[in-house]
Amino acid sequence: GCGSEQSNTVKKQIIGIDPGAGLMKATGKAITEYQLKDWELVEGSGAAMTAALTKAYENKEPIIITGWTPHWKFSKYDLKYLEDPKKVFGEAEDINTIVRTDLKKDHPVAYALLDSFHWEPADMESVMVAIQEGKDPKVAAQEWVKNNEDKVDKWLTDLQPVSGEKITLAYVAWDSEIASTNVVAVALEKLGYQVELSQVEAGPMWAGIASGDADAMVAGWLPTTHADYYQEFQGKFEDLGANLEGTKIGLVVPSYMEISSIEDLNK
């Protein structure tokens, strides 16, 4: 526990996010594999999870959340991942750009931009921090694009602007994907596209690309986190590969908590 009496009375809860997230499935698996019998995984949303974290952190209370990197919470708070000796949460992975099968034919310029979109975890985190500090996501994305012309110019190399063609980007309201999707939207707008952002749950995001209802998404966490969705819709989308490398998911606690491994939750 955290060294106070409170740790003995703390509810055995893991604060989760939206049920469609791969992180939730992985946490369910962790509960089984580590035999965390009396632990409850609480469903909610990314926003509810960070609100619970903020409240606990400010009061120095114990809390266990489902967490991921890149995320602003690691720059705002002193946090740690619980060790995962059974590797239930997988190793470091990538975020891939996934587009509908006919996108190249229908919108070759947008396709080319999406294909070359690539950035670093620190880039994504800086946009996330700006949004968390109160900036409108679109404004935060515009400012990042303005301040990172060299990077964005590389994505736009040799592309001829279009006039007002419509592109729909699907995304889930995870803070990381709010940041990336808005940045890609701003880059597409620079090329003359009219971009619509469609906020959905994780399953419908993958299904929407497979059915062609949405044109693209930049939120495919692979090979582990979204493995089920990837399998389910395989052959019905085009995978343009990684736009970011070096993500991580797992159970996260404030550093003031004394536990260090998922196995400690069993004691």
Residues that bind ligand PBE (CB under 6 A): 17, 21-23, 68, 174, 176-177, 202, 221, 225-226, 249
The CB-of-198 to ligand PBE minimum distance in angstroms stands at 16
* Cis? peptide before 19, omega within 30° of 0: no
Tell the smallest beta-carbon distance from residue 266 to ligand PBE (Å): 24
Report the alpha-carbon distance of residue 24 to residue 208 in Å, rounded. 21
Q: How far is the CB of 174 from ligand PBE (least distance, A)?
A: 4
* Min CB(259)–ligand PBE separation in Å: 22
27 closest CA partner among 178, 225, 261: 225
DSSP SS3 for 118: coil
Whichever of 174 and 233 has its CB closer to ligand PBE, that residue is 174
Cβ-contact 52, 63 below 8 angstroms: yes
The residue number whose beta carbon is nearest to ligand PBE equals 23
CB contact at 8 A, 56 and 4: no
Instruction: Specify the pairing of strand 13-15 against strand 194-199.
Output: unpaired
Q: Which is nearer to ligand PBE, 22 or 137 (CB)?
A: 22
Nearer to ligand PBE, 71 or 107 (CB): 71
The residue among 170 and 191 lying less far from ligand PBE, judged by its C-beta, is 170
